[in-house]
Amino acid sequence: MKPRSCHRLLAPIADAATGDAAGPTSAAERAPEYVREIAPYVGGKPIEEVARELDLDPSAIIKLASNENPRGPSPKALDAIAVAARELTRYPDGNGYALKQALASRLRVSADQIVLGNGSNDVLELATQAFLRPGDDAVYAQYGFIVYPLATKARGARGIEVAARDFGHDLDAMRAAITSKTRIVFVANPNNPTGTWLPGRAVESFIASVPRDVVVVLDEAYNEFLDPADQADSTAWVSRYPNLIVSHTFSKAHGLAALRVGYGVMHADIADLLNRVRQPFNVNALAQAAAIAALGDVDYVEESRRLNREGMRALERGLASLGVRFLQSHGNFIMIEARTAMAVYDALLRQGVIVRPLANYRLPTWLRVTIGTPAENERFLAALSTALARSDASRHAH
């Protein structure tokens, strides 16, 4: 079985002036070419979908495909959601006052430097909406998070993909790739899907080297999984670099992916621009309440980090004993190599284990696996051992 297929290329646009010279023109055909060329985002396969397609019991399926927190949200966040769910009639606070106050005091910035997003994905999109126009450039790394090219292309801007160094960002080459048309540079630290990470001092000197009229989006979605000693004080950099946007999410370590809430920290002038293009009520009431509670539960995040580290070590040991190559990862996921990656992916699916193929990252011989609970990790390793044997057997049979 293949993941849902890539995009259909729409038919070429008919003659704009006459319409009928090239046949009837549909509304879809008249969409901008740069939109028609976008390959849609392919997410991890949902449990229900796999259950339907393979006739499996959904409760027996584990999903290690979207880098969620296997522990789920903090009980404090769940309590806050239950309280907030009593009032669903009114619109949420469109300015997210209470959440911004909580974030401002935690991060030691002012509330007008924070932009809330429907997931941090929204913040990435808002940055492209505010700064990119057709003809502009955005710079990002090969194997960088796939939303950077998607959001860039959606604005009709040109993406400059800079060759990776050891699967990670080559910051010197990225600096060199900036042109007079470049308006945004994206850096993910740690990066998804590779799990590569750069020390704070390297990232800060990169930001310092970028022209001040180019926005740097520093995406720290997986920051909480780093050892505290490795977590850069990047929000403090915002006061030094007025062109910097640092984005964070409640989807990963805080376990709130379904609610869609994230934020960016930036100079107030930049925040003002992003707020102009933001949907008025982009973060729902349940998400705002849950995020405040999750932010306050520091112990929960710390325990999640500890379990992630233990799970990572367990997977590394298991992979090594299976002879599977993997990349050292600083996130809550790990990239593993398999020559027959799609066959291994299929064989895992049939055993009720969902991981993520990476063909859309042009990494066709790699799979990405999210660190699960100890039981999920064990189950994955056992299923992988079976999958490798099966895909090997089928290779030799041909």
What is the binding site for ligand PLP (CB under 6 A)?
67, 119-121, 145, 188, 192, 219, 221, 249, 251, 257, 262
Question: Nearest CA to 234 among 226, 222, 224, 246?
Answer: 246
What's the helix, strand, coil split of the chain in %, to 5? 45, 15, 40
Least Å distance between CB 211 and ligand PLP?
A: 24
Least Å distance between CB 262 and ligand PLP?
A: 4
Between 29 and 159, whose beta carbon lies closer to ligand PLP?
Answer: 159
Between 183 and 368, whose beta carbon lies closer to ligand PLP?
Answer: 368
Burial tier of 38 (Cβ tally within 10 Å: 0-12, 13-18, 19+): middle
d(CA 30, CA 28): 5
Decide: 254 and 69 in contact? Cβ < 8 Å: yes
Non-local (6+) Cβ contacts of 325 within 8 A are 319, 336, 337
Between 158 and 330, whose beta carbon lies closer to ligand PLP?
Answer: 330
CB atoms within 10 A of CB 39: 13
CB atoms within 10 A of CB 146: 17
The number of CA neighbours under 13 Å toward the Cβ of 292 is: 18
Least Å distance between CB 192 and ligand PLP?
A: 3
Least Å distance between CB 369 and ligand PLP?
A: 14
Residue nearest to ligand PLP (CB): 119
Least Å distance between CB 202 and ligand PLP?
A: 18
Between 120 and 243, whose beta carbon lies closer to ligand PLP?
Answer: 120
Between 100 and 390, whose beta carbon lies closer to ligand PLP?
Answer: 100
Helix (H, G, I), strand (E, B) or coil at 326: strand
Length of the chain: 398
d(CA 129, CA 167): 28
Least Å distance between CB 17 and ligand PLP?
A: 42
Between 36 and 159, whose beta carbon lies closer to ligand PLP?
Answer: 159
Question: Nearest CA to 188 among 316, 330, 76, 80?
Answer: 330
Between 196 and 391, whose beta carbon lies closer to ligand PLP?
Answer: 196
Least Å distance between CB 389 and ligand PLP?
A: 31
